Chains A and B, each alone.
Chain A
Amino acid sequence: MASLSGLRRREAVAFYLTISPWLIGLILFTAGPMLISLYVSFTDWDLLTAPTWVGLDNYARLLDDPRLWQSLKVTALYTAAYVPLELAGGLSLALLARPRLRGIGIFRTLYYLPSVLSGVAFVVVWLWLLNPRGGLINLMLAQVGIPGPRWLLDPQWALASLILMSVWGWGRTMVIYLAGLQNIPAELHEAAAIDGADAWARLRTITLPLLTPTIFFNLILSLISTFQTFTSAFVATDGGPLDSTLFFVLYIYRQAFQFLNMGYASALAWLLFAIILALTLIIFRSQDFWVYYAGERAE
């Protein structure tokens, strides 16, 4: 800092002053807690008595905990189905609601509407829609002579039901795609159309390649959020039936706040962190192979 002139130096001081709330918060509510969590993960602690140091025991326990593997399986299956569905579904909605037709704003507004009610109310509405006896979906199926499954109450169907529910939240991805679509020059489409390219060819050769940065962004968002799925599992099924919807975060929650295994829960949380970090890094690395940034790279 010594080399900075007085004015630059004052500006630097001002910068650190203005960002100090965030820096302090980062230490108090993120970095500090993470260090504590790391320490706690090497202990056995029920919060009531003093923590006892157990070394790597909690991490060793990860290896042969069948419920942990079940929760990883559930989370991975859900992610594998949800992420591609949301990416494709959101894009379809965006393409559908893309042309600036009269009244298009109303459709966009309605598509996004369920996304604002995320949380418990969202889940509760679906609990009722999927109710085996009086739920709308089974009543409609009955009208056409199909006996509906028991949805969230059936171990075979529970996870699939949660995936079905997520369709209702596609509006969020749609909005981001709509923004990305605005960046694609119309002249490209027009020139291709004059050369005889039909809508499908234009989608494949113009829209999709130019939209890859947006797809990338949605992919990251979607992945991080599915790995943190909690509310729907907690409210709709409480992990059941037969652990068929035991999501990873729900399992951490139980270990920490129901069984008071703070040490083991911390080890689980670090495992979650490692998984998300690894996936994010892999996807960031993969950008070179499939994400196209026109002109300069994003900042």
Chain B
Amino acid sequence: MSDADTAHESYLLAPRGWALLTRYALLTVVALLFVVPLAWMAASSLKPEYQIFASPPVWWPSPPRWENYVEALTQLPFARFAANTLIIAVGSIVGHLLSCTIVAYGFARLRAPGKGYLFVVLLSTLMLPYPVTMVPLFIIFSRIGWINTFAPLIIPTFFGNAFYIFLLRQAFKQIPLELEDAARLDGATTLDVLRYVILPLSLPALAAVAIFSFQSSWNDFLGPLIFLQDQSRYTLMLGLSFFRGTTQINWAYLMAASLVTVIPVVVVYFVAQRLFIEGIAFTGLKQ
């Protein structure tokens, strides 16, 4: 988290002595609650069949059965699913970054009649439940032959997203107007201003949008479930759900497959977690 929050932190009231020790103990116990399920998932993924249901629980499968991963991931075309998911994720990131940046700039900087009203409309679409539009969207997309293609999952991202527009607008508003005015005096167009002034100064916010967009398209389930029908078009989440639906669940395989599908989001989270948490915190602050 940023250094800014030290400003409102009281050193006078910071826990000391026993209070500090209890605090750490409590922090650790709670952390275990969040981590143990993941450890259990990893342990289970390496178990041979006979250890899966063993009681008391086995934490260190011995010997670890790495073949589970190979076998799980070849039962269904997971490589295909991963490629599909990646195409959709990259498409969404590009779409969101392009569209949301331009729209956010307008909302952050330009004055026009009706703007306040449109901003309220933008914010209220944040509260619009997706299931309300999913049925008509399916009808429209099936008319224009988009069903079973990635188009319904990628094309709409090129038309903005209320949450990301809002996030970027907040970031753009913090850039001093003088910088932009100076550029304009030098003859810069709006696109120049965006490219040379606004964007370089908003990299953390842009990165946050890219990460959110990646995470939400990677984890999306309802969209792919409705719009993709052929197994060859499945995303990882659809594949995983299909795998879970097979009559004889092999839990070790299922855990292995799940673990592999979440690794990309977990890695991105750890690499960029400061941006991640700040991005969320940011939108929460400036409601």
Contact = CB atoms under 8 A, between A and B. Distances in A.
A113 B280 contact: no
A224 B269 CA distance: 25
Contacts of A299: 286
A100 B286 CA distance: 23
B245 to A, nearest CB: 9
Given A121-B240, A124-B240, A186-B9, A101 B20 contact: yes
A14 B190 contact: yes
B159 A21 contact: yes
Contact of A11 (B1, B110, B132): B110
A128 B54 CA distance: 13
A126 interface: yes
Contacts of A124: 240, 244, 254-255, 258
B135 A37 contact: yes
Nearest to B43: A136
Contacts of A280: 127
B8 A276 contact: no
Given A128-B254, A217-B284, A15 B115 contact: yes
Interface string B140-163: 101000000000000010111000
A131 interface: yes
A182 B5 contact: yes
B261 interface: yes
Nearest to A13: B112
- Interface residues of chain A: helix, strand, loop or mixed (majority): helix
Interface stretch (B60-68, B69-77, B99-107, B202-210): B99-107
A128 B14 contact: no
Contacts of A270: 132
B4 interface: yes
Contacts of A11: 110-112
B30 A111 contact: yes
What size tier do the contact residues of chain A reach?
35 or more
A225 to B, nearest CB: 9
A86 B177 CA distance: 40
Contacts of A121: 219, 237, 240, 258, 261-262
Interface residues of B, number: 101
Contact of B4 (A93, A118, A182, A265): A182
B266 to A, nearest CB: 6
A113 B269 contact: yes
Contacts of A253: 131, 134, 222, 226
Given A15-B112, A100-B9, A176-B284, A116 B244 contact: no
A120 B273 contact: no
Contacts of A16: 106, 112
Contacts of B265: 116-117
A213 interface: yes
A249 B34 contact: no
Contacts of B251: 128, 131, 134
B53 interface: yes
B170 to A, nearest CB: 10
Interface stretch (A55-63, A76-84, A138-146, A150-158): A138-146
Interface in A219-252: 220, 224, 227-228, 230-231, 234-235, 249, 252
Nearest to B194: A18
Given A37-B133, A101-B20, A124-B244, A114 B37 contact: yes
Interface in B247-287: 251, 254-255, 258, 261-262, 265-266, 269-270, 273, 276-277, 280-282, 284-287
Nearest to A4: B113
B201 interface: no
Interface string A17-57: 11101111110111011101100100000010000000000
B113 A235 contact: no
A32 B237 CA distance: 29
B185 interface: no
A114 B134 CA distance: 27
Contact of A113 (B135, B190, B266): B266
Contacts of A230: 131, 221-222
Q: Which 3 residue pairs of A and B lie closest in terms of their CB atoms, listed nearest first?
A: A25-B159, A18-B106, A179-B281
15 contacts: A19-B102, A21-B99, A21-B102, A110-B34, A113-B266, A114-B37, A125-B255, A128-B41, A129-B37, A134-B52, A175-B284, A178-B281, A179-B281, A179-B282, A182-B5
